[in-house]
Structure formats: structure tokens, C-alpha cells
């Protein structure tokens, strides 16, 4: 990274651009990941075959993982840097707190992001690494049964649902801010920005939550 590039990143705009680019990558992954996971409603054979197909291309799979890890690190580091920068600009705070954020999603952006990060770590340990963090051992190659067994535990399903709600709120404000960074911050576009942000966040939240809800409701069961 050149000195000029480093200097740009150190600016507020630079950090927001990094957050926007990494955010686009992460949103694309979340949508693709959700689409793949929703194959659980097509049956065990379909979902297990999908998982086997992904693992049949280790170079592509690990390449995608490296890109995602880099995007997650860049996203959270930029967010943390902006928070520190804003805090340093007004270390004593305001005598009267006046929130410029107009939505609940914006006001809960930081802690919602932390919950999402914790969920990502848990999810990777649970279904990717296979660590015994759920009270049972996963069976490699049996993705359908692993998911159903995991979500049969109401505590795990509840944590997943809470994490997805936080992800939805995070995505709503993230998509809104992304379009603002791209220069769409104008009354002419605000209604469209709101509709796009709402559609993306609802699509992902409802899609992801539908799986643990279906398991708890008995609509999905082990084969």
C-alpha cells in the first residue's frame, strides 16, 4: 500500500469507502449463503449434495474464505476506527444527547455488529470446524441432519434468530449508508434508498430465520 493510499484510508471518507466495498462483498456472500442454505427445504439429499459440491473445489472454497475473512476484518476495523475517530473529536460528549440517527437500526449499529461477529465465530466453530460447541458432535457430510439437530435445541435456535434480527438491522443501516457513500444522499433518492435497504434486510432476515423456525415447528426433521 502506497503512502498516498494509506493517507486516503486514514481519512473519514477513506474508511467509509473501505466499509462500503467490504460491505458489498459481505452482502453478496450473505445472499448467496442464504440461497444455498434454503435448499434444506428441498430435502437432505439436495442440501448434502450442495455441500459436497462446494467441498469438491477446495481452491475456490478457500479463496472465497480468504476474501471473506479479509472483508470482515476490513469492515470491522474501519467501523472501529471511525468510532474511535468520532469519540476523539468529542471526548466529553454533549451536555444534552441529541441523536442524529433517525432509525433504531442506526442507533444499535455497534452492538448489533458485535452480536453478528460473535455469531459468525460460533457458526464457523459449529458447522465448519465441527467443534463440540453445541452439546453434540456433527457428522461430516450430513449437513441436513447437523442443521436440524442443532436447531432442535431452542437455545441455539433462539440465539440464531436473535443474531439474524441483529444482522437485518445492521444490513438496513449498512445498505442505507452504502448508498449515501455512493453519493445518493438526496431527497430525490431517499425513498428509493429506504425501500432497497428494507427489501434487502427483510429478505435476508426472513430467509435465514425460516430455517430454525421450521425445525422448531417440526416441519424439518432428521432423515
CATH topology of domain 3-216: 3 helical TM bundles of succinate and fumarate reductases (1.20.1300)
Cα distance between residue 107 and residue 92, in whole Å: 19
Q: How confident is the model at residue 12 (pLDDT cuts 50, 70, 90)?
A: confident
How far lies 196's CA from each of 34, 144, 189, in Å?
A: 18, 32, 11
* pLDDT tens by residue, 93-135: 544 444 444 454 455 566 666 777 788 887 777 766 666 666 6
Q: Cα–Cα distance between 184 and 79 in angstroms, integer?
A: 21
Q: What is the pLDDT of residue 97?
A: 45
Give 135-180 pLDDT, tens digit per residue: 667 777 888 998 898 888 898 899 889 889 988 988 888 888 777 7
Q: Which has more confidence, 213 or 78? A: 213
3-class secondary structure, 172: helix
**How does pLDDT run across 193-219, given as a tens digit for each residue?**
888 889 999 999 999 999 999 999 999
Please check whether residue 130 is in contact with residue 138, taking contact to mean a CB–CB distance below 8 angstroms. yes
Amino acid at each position: 500500500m502506497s503512502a498516498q493510499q494509506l493517507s486516503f484510508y486514514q481519512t473519514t471518507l477513506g474508511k467509509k469507502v473501505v466499509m462500503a466495498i467490504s460491505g458489498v462483498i459481505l452482502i453478496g456472500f450473505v445472499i448467496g449463503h442464504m440461497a444455498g442454505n434454503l435448499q434444506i427445504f428441498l430435502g437432505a439429499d439436495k442440501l448434502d449434495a450442495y455441500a459436497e459440491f462446494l467441498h469438491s473445489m477446495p481452491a475456490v472454497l478457500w479463496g472465497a474464505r480468504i476474501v471473506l475473512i479479509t472483508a470482515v476484518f476490513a469492515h470491522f476495523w474501519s467501523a472501529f476506527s471511525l468510532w474511535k475517530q468520532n469519540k476523539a473529536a468529542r471526548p466529553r460528549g454533549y451536555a444534552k444527547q441529541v441523536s442524529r440517527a433517525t432509525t433504531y437500526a442506526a442507533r444499535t449499529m455497534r452492538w448489533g455488529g458485535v452480536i453478528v461477529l460473535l455469531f459468525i465465530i460460533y457458526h464457523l466453530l459449529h458447522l465448519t470446524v465441527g467443534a463440540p460447541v453445541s452439546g453434540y458432535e456433527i457428522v461430516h457430510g450430513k449437513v441436513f441432519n447437523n442443521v436440524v439437530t442443532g436447531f432442535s435445541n431452542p437455545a441455539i435456535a433462539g440465539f440464531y434468530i436473535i443474531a439474524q434480527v441483529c444482522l437485518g438491522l445492521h444490513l438496513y443501516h449498512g445498505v442505507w449508508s452504502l448508498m449515501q457513500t455512493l453519493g445518493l444522499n438526496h431527497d430525490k433518492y431517499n425513498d428509493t434508498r429506504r425501500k432497497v435497504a428494507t427489501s434487502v434486510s427483510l429478505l435476508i432476515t426472513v430467509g435465514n430465520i425460516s430455517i430454525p423456525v421450521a425445525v422448531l415447528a417440526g416441519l424439518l426433521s432428521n432423515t
